[in-house]
Structure 1
Amino acid sequence: MTDVAGVPFDYMPLILATTASLMFAIGAQWQNIGLATVDGRTGAMVSITAAAATLWLFAPFFMDWHYWLEPAMLIFAAIGLFRPAVSANLAVAGMKFLGPTLVSTLACTSPLFGTVMGVLILGEMFTWPLAIGTGGIMAAVLLLSKRGKVKVDWPFWALFLPIGAAFLRALGHVLSKIGMEAGIPDPYFASIVGFTVSAILTWSVRGVRREPVVVNWRAPGVKWFALGGATTSAAIICLNTGLLRGDLVVIAPIVATSPIFTMLLSALVFRRERLTGKVVIATFIVVGSVIVIALGR
């Protein structure tokens, strides 16, 4: 298949974005298991640290050390200041005020932010097939998020917690692509710098607040959160590789299909939920939307 200029279309960004979405979903399942014995904040700290540690474990084999001297390295460091440290905490805080239903609904704004940033900041082209595909994916995730009555006794400003998390995730995508195109075309390096800064920031904040960092390393949940962090690090590498090779307006909506994979894994693998008609319909909508995006490019 070729694009409008007659140049063969590269399907690899679509494959990488789908893989990243699946890996994010698997990581979420590991972390969900960990919540049985570890609180959310500690679990997030362990997860971020494990992601950074996993990347450093393989650094001697995959990292180009001279990139540390490139100015673009600062872009990846800046990403680490808010993703995933701040974005994850905003999502957790939103869950406290709004509950999981509304938080998951507002999280659907992430591909919308990504698309707008891709067009306005990166100068990417947004076509009708992309609009239809993005809208379909957002509709499918919204369909899954509707699980009953939504809590309404929350302050108005709490809405900006999950929306802020979605915005920061999209901003991280934009900056990652800018940094890789500005002189460091290395998804592995982009990932390791961001996670390292985020891990340092997470531990430092607790130190500044003089909060006791008490982690029961023997608790089973710690191992599950660590596994979730390692899985997330692989997902970020896939995501960054996709961003390097493709457009953000294509990658963002596909990565946003992670809740679909999460639901399917819960029903088919972990047996925590039933495979309902709503899940099946949402899955078909997502598959159709991804096909529209692929054919439209």
Structure 2
Amino acid sequence: MSMRILMAGVSGFLGTRLVDRLTSDGHQVVRLVRRPPRTPDERQWKPSAAELDPAVVADADAVVNLAGAGVGDKRWNDEYRKLIRSSRVDSTTTLAITIAGLPAEDRPAVFLNSSAVGWYGNTGDRVVEEDSPAGEGFLADVCRVWEAATRPAEDAGVRVVRLRTGLPLHRAGGMLKPQLLPFKLGVAGRLGSGRQWLPWISMRDWLDAAAFLLDRDDLAGPVNVVGPNPVTNAEFTKELARQLHRPAIIPIPALALKITLGGFAHEALTSARVLPGVLSRAGLTYHHPDLPTALHAALTE
């Protein structure tokens, strides 16, 4: 069934691709933007000031929020940490409170809100699914308040899905893009010990999961949007080097990461052995269930 979907975060790495996917599926996407609208499908809002016209939300069958400053885009300092947190919490709070304030008959049926596997913190070799508690660390703390900000919509009876996204693979962005040049130059290798687990997912499977969750009115709460077979950083490095036909023999020490990445170095070395419990039990079919096929798609499609 075709839906009118209100979406925030439309210009980001995932948002631009999800807009294309939902539009190709026959849905109408209305884009929330912070600047004055330039096209008929745009609506302005100011999440930092909690400004959003309730009528814009009342027109929607579903709301999707992917807004948030990129965690790997800049070196972390205190100011950027505040932006990472506020850009997520302000947008989520504004949408959730606006949804809750509408008459019941005007509320959207579903609110898909971005979150991240950072919720779990450092899990080491321990496997975690959606019922695992929040971990420790900056991103875990951000995820905790980020997810809590959806509560007004949930309390109002709207189906809320919290997308605990892993590491979507695509050559144009995310964790993969900055690695390509060093690998092609033969000056790359595992990060730190290489024993940390990476919860990757192919871009196609991430998009499939988002569309799947919009349609499944029996699914709510946290959902790990990751592939079914996480790998260690050492395994990821080896496979990427194989597909690029380059060596990967220069490990990057933890100290060097801390010097170049600042606060983000801790997160880059975090181990998250996350499984997609909800999606697997719900029957989502993965087009790229293993890393070799996912990386091949990321590098060629």
Please, what TM-score do these two structures have when normalized by structure 2? 0.27
Bigger share in helix: 1
Report 1 or 2 for greater relative contact order, CA contacts < 8 Å, sequence distance ≥ 6. Answer: 1
Q: What TM-score do the two structures reach when normalised by structure 1?
A: 0.28
- Structure holding more strand per residue: 2
